[in-house]
């Protein structure tokens, strides 16, 4: 009788052990603390930027064949999506340099983060040299607007825009120039941008824009391989020198010749921004255009 009770107890104990081992384990650990999101001063605009880039990414990832319709609105030709393996992101081929013509870098950042202004730039350089990256290099920013350089009219689609905090009347700071040179070196290497394609907003839009103006250190940039500058020893331009054609071959829109001359002189002469060409101006133009 005793043995029977012992065996019964052992049997019941075994069942309890098995049942306990098979039952789901209860996690008695403390729940994770809620994540604290630190909102910086530009949290709202950064969130909008992320939303827009996510939307663009979803468009790029679509794999829908083109739909061809006939004049009656019916599908006329069958089509199919087959993904190619040979493609990449379009890269910028120009750099356009601007001055902000505003009171402070904070004002410029505010301008570029208000939707109603419809303007932006890829980079903004403050007076202390700090660089603000505001649009991904592979995205199109609204910085160039209407203009023409060579055969290019939609400059926004193929360029990077750099705004420098400057009112147009003051020299650019050493810190700004240092940061700009570092940035240009990185962009030139990353996207294989030719020396000829580092220009100013005034060059692309001479009818309406004066920036970065005659105080901008173009020679310093040219010495580093960003754009061209005239040689120290200038050959005298021939008497029959066609300066209008020379301006056009460099890239200027000569439909308004006076505006093109002023833009050229702001860039390459700098101590005179009139529409008159002196002999020295002609010599500089003759020298520069042969580099293009």
The span from the CA of 150 to the CA of 210, in Å, is 18
Q: Which two tokens stand for residue 162?
A: 């750099």
Least confident segment among 59-73, 89-103, 184-198, 215-229: 59-73
Residues labelled catalytic: 163
In a domain, 47, yes or no: no
Secondary structure of 114-134 as H, E, C letters: CHHHCCCCCEEECCCCCEEEC
Do 157 and 108 sit in the same domain of this protein? yes
In a domain, 77, yes or no: no
Do 169 and 196 sit in the same domain of this protein? yes
pLDDT value of position 52: 85
What is the domain-level CATH number for residue 121?
3.40.80.10
Domain termination residue (choose one: 210, 229, 248) = 229
In a domain, 221, yes or no: yes
Mean pLDDT of 138-145: 96
pLDDT value of position 268: 98
In a domain, 197, yes or no: yes
The span from the CA of 291 to the CA of 146, in Å, is 26
58: confidence class by pLDDT, cuts 50, 70, 90: confident
**Does pLDDT of 131 surpass 70?**
yes
In the chain, the number of structural domains is 2
**Does pLDDT of 269 surpass 90?**
yes
Do 206 and 248 sit in the same domain of this protein? no
16: confidence class by pLDDT, cuts 50, 70, 90: very low
In a domain, 74, yes or no: no
The span from the CA of 135 to the CA of 119, in Å, is 11
Rounded to two decimals, the pTM is 0.82
Least confident segment among 20-24, 91-95, 239-243, 284-288: 20-24
Output the CA torsion 182→187→190→193 (10° steps): -130
Do 266 and 137 sit in the same domain of this protein? no
In a domain, 44, yes or no: no
Residue with tokens 């055969």: 151
Do 188 and 235 sit in the same domain of this protein? no
216 vs 82, which has greater pLDDT?
216
**Does pLDDT of 36 surpass 60?**
no
Do 217 and 239 sit in the same domain of this protein? no
In a domain, 13, yes or no: no
**Does pLDDT of 172 surpass 90?**
yes
What are the pLDDT digits (tens) for 179-202?
Answer: 999 999 999 999 999 999 999 999
30 vs 83, which has greater pLDDT?
83
Domain termination residue (choose one: 192, 212, 229) = 229
pLDDT value of position 14: 44
Do 216 and 281 sit in the same domain of this protein? no
Do 220 and 107 sit in the same domain of this protein? yes
Domain that holds residue 247: 230-291
Residue 262 near residue 270, CB atoms below 8 Å = no
Do 100 and 218 sit in the same domain of this protein? yes
pLDDT value of position 164: 99
Do 117 and 173 sit in the same domain of this protein? yes
The span from the CA of 177 to the CA of 161, in Å, is 16
Do 266 and 220 sit in the same domain of this protein? no
In a domain, 60, yes or no: no
Domain termination residue (choose one: 199, 229, 259) = 229
Mean pLDDT of 117-122: 96
Do 164 and 221 sit in the same domain of this protein? yes
What is the residue-averaged pLDDT of the chain? 88
Q: Which two tokens stand for residue 115?
A: 């939707």
């Amino acid at each position: 009788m005793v043995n029977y009770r012992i065996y019964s107890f052992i049997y019941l104990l075994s069942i309890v052990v098995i049942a306990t081992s098979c039952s789901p384990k209860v996690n008695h650990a403390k729940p994770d603390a809620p994540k604290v999101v630190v909102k910086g001063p530009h949290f709202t605009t950064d969130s909008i930027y992320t939303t827009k880039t996510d939307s663009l990414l979803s468009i790029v990832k679509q794999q829908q064949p083109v739909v061809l319709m006939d004049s009656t609105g019916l599908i006329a030709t069958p089509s199919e999506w087959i993904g190619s393996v040979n493609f990449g992101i379009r890269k910028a081929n120009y750099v356009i340099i601007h001055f902000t013509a505003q009171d402070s870098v904070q004002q410029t950042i505010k301008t570029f983060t208000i939707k109603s202004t419809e303007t932006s730039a890829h980079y903004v350089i403050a007076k202390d040299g700090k660089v603000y990256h505001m649009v991904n290099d592979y995205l199109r920013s609204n910085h160039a607007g209407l203009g023409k350089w060579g055969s290019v009219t939609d400059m926004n689609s193929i360029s990077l825009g750099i705004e420098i905090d400057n009112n147009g009347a003051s020299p650019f700071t050493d810190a700004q120039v240092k940061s700009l040179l570092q940035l240009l070196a990185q962009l030139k290497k990353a996207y294989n941008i030719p020396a000829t394609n580092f220009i100013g907003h005034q060059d692309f839009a001479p009818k309406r824009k004066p920036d970065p103006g005659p105080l901008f250190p173009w020679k310093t940039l040219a010495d580093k391989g960003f754009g061209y500058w005239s040689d120290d020893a200038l050959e005298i331009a021939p008497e029959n020198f066609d300066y209008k054609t020379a301006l056009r071959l460099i890239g200027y829109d000569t439909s308004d010749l006076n505006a093109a001359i002023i833009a050229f002189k702001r860039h390459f002469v700098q101590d005179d921004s009139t529409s008159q060409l002196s002999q020295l101006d002609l010599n500089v133009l003759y020298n520069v255009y042969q580099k293009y």
